[in-house]
Amino acid sequence: MGAAVDALGLNLPQLIAQVANFVVLLVILRFTLYKPILGMLDDRKQKIAEGLNAAESAREEAAAAQANIQQQLDTARREGQDIVANAQQIAGRIQAESREAAERDRQAAAERSRLEIQQERDRAIAELRAEFADLTVQ
């Protein structure tokens, strides 16, 4: 194997020293750079997860608010329809009462007119009788 190493131009002690230096460099880099970078990446990952959770929470709150608004709109619509129905019912009742009052007034006016005509007729008959009585006396 020594001939193969010499044929390739490799110096075994130098190769071992380079491998040892590389391992030491890896250990140093692991503790000085790799762990802090991983810590920063984990912090960033956690912040992103918190942001996503906050966005999901906000979306759920918005959906709940939308449902609440829709429910309030439906309630207001029903109340409005009830108010309109009540107003129509009251208007119909007022209209019927007005018709009844007008009919009563018309009947009362007709009765007054009939009574006046009856009184005028009775008065005219009485006058005619008085005149006839005067004519028969003369």
Retrieve residue 7's tokens: 């044929």
Residue tagged 């810590």 (tokens): 39
**Structural contact between residues 27 and 20, judged by C-beta atoms closer than 8 angstroms:** no
Retrieve residue 138's tokens: 């003369």
pLDDT of residue 35: 85
pLDDT of residue 133: 83
Q: How far is it, in rounded angstroms, from Cα 76 to Cα 80?
A: 6
Torsion of CA 114, 117, 121, 126, to 10 degrees: 100
How much is the CA Rg of the chain, to the nearest whole Å? Answer: 57
Where does residue 65 rank: exposed (0-12), middle (13-18), buried (19+ CB within 10 A)? exposed
**What are the pLDDT tens digits along the chain (138 aa)?**
566 656 777 788 898 999 999 999 999 988 888 888 888 999 999 999 999 999 999 999 999 999 999 999 999 999 999 999 999 999 999 999 999 999 999 999 999 999 999 999 999 999 988 888 888 877
pLDDT of residue 60: 96
pLDDT of residue 46: 97
pLDDT of residue 134: 82
pLDDT of residue 94: 96
Determine the residue type at 122. Answer: D
Apex 81 CA angle, 88 and 100, nearest 5:
10
**Structural contact between residues 24 and 31, judged by C-beta atoms closer than 8 angstroms:** no
